[in-house]
Structure formats: structure tokens, C-alpha cells
């Protein structure tokens, strides 16, 4: 047993478990998986190599692995109503890299939402391979924090990219996939929707689906979808071969079979009525939390949220940088990440905002009433960030508060 063979690692896992239990987890990209997902993830499937795809493997002995991968694929097709699914990308970043490889040559032009506007590093940021190997141009959001589709169109027409990326990491509003489709058609671009953050909300019909507007859809599986850390690429039959080749052998070797099995389990869970209700509550909670923070004088980018997250300009609200605010909150067992806000004048390492999400706390069964309490904790901490005694008191309150909410897969 791990406890006997490697006590330092066992001990640190136990400490991390305690941290998860005793804290309010507001990182928008995190969630708690079920015991079943954890069981599949921690299984002997990790022992097997299976380069290739079901019935087309380079190694023998894949009779069961093939069946598992096919189940994952079929469940994803059914849930998202897509033609083709590749469940092998190890992460969202590798999925997005594979998409670039499938359609572009080095130096070709790609266009995506800038990081500070709520896009993702892999949508063409200059510090990522997506902006280093490819000629990337960015669009942002208007002064009101919403995507301005006229501006997106103008940038697309001026630069005529081969790929247009939509999707979000910190954009809290509904994306008009249809309008992006029109823009992509006007410039002859392939349209990619990265739904990593909102996959669970889309699967349950609580956020518009990019199907059939996007040509290719990428997603991680561990955020609102509540599965293991992994990713998928979904596309029309027309692009299936290019996508599969770009994943393997283009960018990866043997797939993580334990993860693929856990993705299959999560996809089954995501098709239940219970998960549908959970997803709806995630959004209700986010709206409530945004309202409560607004009432307390916080600036929420775009004035609210349509999904599971919000971006709070803490510099404007309480004169703390994102780094200072996230550190103060961590001292009270409340976890958020510092985040740039649109047109941020500060550097990403210490930006003006924090991003707050409700997917994880909703998995613990928290509802609107608890959002009022959490907004109160956040406000007290941020307005008294130098008062160590008060922060210690809030930390104790948070510990007691979280005791009432069990964590799937842990308690």
C-alpha cells in the first residue's frame, strides 16, 4: 500500500484531500469527480500501450481497450450530437495543438480571442506554440465586456486567417456561434469552438451548443463536465481523418487508457437527469454570486454571467491586485486564481482581476443561500486583507461552513 511504500507522497495526498475538504474551491476550471470516475482513472488500464485507434493498433492485446475507447466515443457522440470524436488528447492544450497541426503549416495565420479578454493561451498567445509557430492575430471584447462581432469580422476580413478560434477561459457570456460561423464563411476559415469550460453546461442544454456551427470542437473533460483530467476533439466526418492523424501520430504516442475509461464513465454520468439539475444550479449559483458581489460594490466584467464563471476587477473594486486578492483569500481557505481583465494594464503575473467559478462548490450541493455567505466571506477578506486576526477567524468559519457539504469522490 502507498502508505507503507511511499509515506511522503501518501502524506501529501492526505494533506491535499484535507485542503480540498476544508476550503471553498472557486477556481473556475476545477471540479470534484465521482468515486466511479476516480476508480476508472486509478485502474490497471494505465499499464497498457495502445498506439493507434480501435481495431487499428500497433500493439497486440487491445481487445478490451478497444471496447472501452469505443464506448467513450459513442457516449460523446450521443451527448454532444457530433459525427466524430477523438478521446485521446491528454489535455486541452495538446488537443488544441493537434488542431493547429491538422489544418495549418508553420507560419499560417490563426485568429483567437486574446487572453485578457477571456480566451486561452492556446488560441494564439505569443508565449504559446500557437502564437510562436503560427502567425496569430487576436480579437478582444468591447468596452462593455461583450464580444463585438463587428470588430471580430473586421479583424477577420483584414487578416483572413485560416483558422478562427472561439471559446473561452474567462469570458462569462453566451458566445454567438452562428455569428462566428458567418464570419468564418466570409473569410473561408475553419471555425473551432473550444468548449473546455462550458462542456457540461452544453451537454445538458444550459448553454447554446456550437453544433452544427463549428467545424471542430475541442474540450477538456474535467471542468463543468466533471470527469477526469483529459480532453476530446469532436468534428464533422469531413475532418475526422485529419484530426485523428494530428493526435496520433502527429502530437502524441500511446493514449492514456485509464483516462479514456474515466471519460466514458463521466459521459454516462453527464447524461443523467441529476447532472442536468446540477448544471442548471451551477449557472444559478454563478448568477447569484455575481449579483451579491455587485451589490457589495464589486466590478464584474460585462456586469454578470451566463455561465459558471465571472471575472472580478479587484483593483477597481477594492484596490488590490489579483495576486494580492487571491493570496488574501487563500489565507482564509478560499481558492481563486488571479486573472487579467480586458485591456489589463498590469502584467499576467500580477493582473487586476480574479476569476471565480461555481462548478466545484455546486458539486458539494451548495445553492443560492450559500452564495450569499461566500460573497460575504470574500468581501470581508478583501476589505480587511491586512487584518490577520480577522482573516484567521474567517478561515475557521470557512472550515466549519464546508463541513456541511460533502465532496463527491471524497466524503
Residues contributing to the site for ligand DSN (CB under 6 A): 29, 92, 169
Out of 10, 22, 49, 296, which one is annotated catalytic?
A: 49
Which residue has the CB atom at the shortest distance from ligand DSN? 29
Of the candidates 248, 207, 292, 256, the one whose C-alpha atom is nearest the C-alpha of residue 65 is 256
Q: Is 220 a catalytic residue?
A: yes
Out of 69, 194, 313, 344, which one is annotated catalytic?
A: 194
Cβ distance to ligand DSN smaller for residue 27 or 234: 27
CA distances from 231 to 45, 75, 307, 308 (A): 17, 14, 20, 19
Q: Is 226 a catalytic residue?
A: no
CB of 160 to ligand DSN, least distance (A): 28
Out of 22, 30, 48, 51, which one is annotated catalytic?
A: 51
Burial code of 298-320, b = ≥16 C-beta within 10 A, e = fewer?
Answer: bbbbbeebbbbbbbbbbbebbeb
CA distances from 378 to 291, 318, 343, 372, 381 (A): 13, 11, 25, 10, 5
Q: Is 171 a catalytic residue?
A: no
Cβ distance to ligand DSN smaller for residue 162 or 223: 223
Cβ distance to ligand DSN smaller for residue 68 or 95: 95
Of the candidates 45, 411, 363, 33, the one whose C-alpha atom is nearest the C-alpha of residue 222 is 33
CB of 29 to ligand DSN, least distance (A): 3
CB of 176 to ligand DSN, least distance (A): 21
Cβ distance to ligand DSN smaller for residue 29 or 333: 29
Residue 357 DSSP SS3: strand
Cβ distance to ligand DSN smaller for residue 92 or 409: 92
Out of 109, 229, 323, 399, which one is annotated catalytic?
A: 229
CB of 222 to ligand DSN, least distance (A): 10
Q: Is 223 a catalytic residue?
A: yes
Of the candidates 231, 229, 210, 228, the one whose C-alpha atom is nearest the C-alpha of residue 220 is 231
CB of 14 to ligand DSN, least distance (A): 25
Phi-psi region of 398 (alpha: psi -120 to 50; beta: other; left: phi over 0): alpha
Which residues are the active-site residues? 49, 51, 194, 220, 223, 229
Amino acid at each position: 500500500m502507498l502508505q507503507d511504500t511511499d509515506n511522503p507522497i501518501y502524506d501529501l495526498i492526505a494533506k491535499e484531500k484535507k485542503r480540498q475538504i476544508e476550503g471553498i474551491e472557486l477556481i473556475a476550471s476545477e471540479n470534484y469527480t465521482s468515486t466511479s470516475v476516480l476508480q476508472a482513472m486509478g485502474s490497471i488500464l494505465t499499464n497498457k500501450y495502445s498506439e493507434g485507434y480501435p481495431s487499428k493498433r500497433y500493439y497486440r492485446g487491445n481487445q478490451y481497450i478497444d471496447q472501452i475507447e469505443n464506448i467513450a466515443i459513442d457516449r460523446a457522440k450521443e451527448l454532444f450530437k457530433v459525427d466524430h470524436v477523438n478521446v485521446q488528447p491528454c489535455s486541452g492544450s495538446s488537443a488544441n495543438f493537434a488542431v493547429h497541426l491538422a489544418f495549418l503549416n508553420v507560419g499560417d495565420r490563426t485568429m483567437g480571442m486574446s487572453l485578457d479578454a477571456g480566451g486561452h493561451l492556446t488560441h494564439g498567445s505569443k508565449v504559446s506554440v500557437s502564437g510562436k509557430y503560427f502567425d496569430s492575430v487576436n480579437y478582444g471584447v468591447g468596452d462593455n465586456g461583450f464580444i463585438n462581432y463587428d470588430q471580430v469580422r473586421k479583424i477577420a476580413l483584414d487578416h483572413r486567417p485560416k483558422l478562427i478560434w472561439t471559446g473561452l477561459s474567462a469570458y462569462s457570456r453566451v458566445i454567438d456561434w452562428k455569428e462566428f460561423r458567418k464570419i468564418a464563411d466570409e473569410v473561408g476559415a475553419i471555425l473551432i469552438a473550444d468548449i473546455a469550460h462550458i462542456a457540461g453546461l452544453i451537454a445538458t442544454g444550459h448553454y447554446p451548443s456550437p453544433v452544427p456551427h463549428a467545424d471542430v470542437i475541442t474540450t477538456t473533460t474535467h471542468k463543468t463536465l466533471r470527469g477526469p483530467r483529459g480532453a476530446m476533439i469532436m468534428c464533422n466526418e469531413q475532418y475526422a481523418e485529419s484530426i485523428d492523424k494530428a493526435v496520433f501520430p502527429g502530437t502524441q504516442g500511446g493514449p492514456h487508457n485509464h483516462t479514456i475509461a474515466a471519460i466514458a464513465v463521466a459521459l454516462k454520468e453527464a447524461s443523467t437527469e441529476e447532472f442536468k439539475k446540477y448544471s442548471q444550479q451551477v449557472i444559478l449559483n454563478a448568477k447569484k454570486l455575481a449579483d451579491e458581489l455587485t451589490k457589495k460594490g464589486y466590478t464584474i466584467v460585462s456586469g454578470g454571467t451566463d455561465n459558471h464563471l465571472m471575472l472580478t476587477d479587484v483593483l477597481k473594486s477594492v484596490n488590490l491586485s489579483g495576486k494580492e486578492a487571491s493570496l488574501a483569500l487563500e489565507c482564509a481557505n478560499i481558492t481563486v486564481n488571479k486573472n487579467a481583465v480586458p485591456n489589463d494594464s498590469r502584467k499576467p503575473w500580477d493582473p487586476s482581476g480574479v476569476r471565480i467559478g461555481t462548478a466545484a462548490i455546486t458539486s458539494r450541493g451548495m445553492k443560492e443561500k450559500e452564495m450569499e455567505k461566500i460573497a460575504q466571506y470574500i468581501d470581508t477578506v478583501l476589505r480587511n486583507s491586512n487584518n490577520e486576526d480577522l482573516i484567521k477567524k474567517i478561515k475557521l468559519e470557512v472550515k466549519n461552513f464546508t463541513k456541511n457539504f460533502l465532496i463527491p469522490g471524497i466524503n
